[in-house]
Amino acid sequence: MARQTAPKAKKKGKAKAVVKAKPKRKKKPCLEDAVRAHLEKYFKAHTHSFPASGLYDRVLVEVERPLLELTLEATEGNQLQAARILGINRNTLRKKLQELGLYED
């Protein structure tokens, strides 16, 4: 049985590839994007100088406090469950809570 093919069109000039643009999907907001946007603003605010040293530790504390607070809130104060969710030891969680003034013995 012979295969049927469409008749070939005559070539005139160079053929151009047609690329269909994918529809733009809204990217789900993520923590990384929010932190990046905030840090970009922070660095732009320091146009004539650099921020004070210790930025790394300041950023970690700023993220750590709400992370611990909201995790404990979600677990209704259950530190063992919160530690499991965070992937850290319960004693480490308690130490961090004490350092941030969120827990007293």
Whole-Å CA distances, 25 to 29, 33, 48, 103: 12, 16, 38, 43
Q: What is the dihedral of CA 73, 77, 81, 84, to 10 degrees?
A: 60
Instruction: Tell me the pTM.
Output: 0.63
Tokens of 9: 């069109």
Q: CB of 93 within 8 A of CB of 85?
A: no
Structural domains of the chain, with CATH? 53-105 (1.10.10.60)
Q: Specify the higher pLDDT residue, 7 or 100.
A: 100
Task: Identify the band that residue 9 occupies on the pLDDT scale cut at 50, 70 and 90.
Answer: low
Task: Identify the band that residue 33 occupies on the pLDDT scale cut at 50, 70 and 90.
Answer: very high
Can you tell me the distance from the alpha carbon of 100 to that of 79, in angstroms, rounded to the nearest whole number?
Answer: 15
pLDDT of 19 strictly over 70: no
pLDDT digits over 39-62, tens only? 999 889 988 888 888 999 999 989
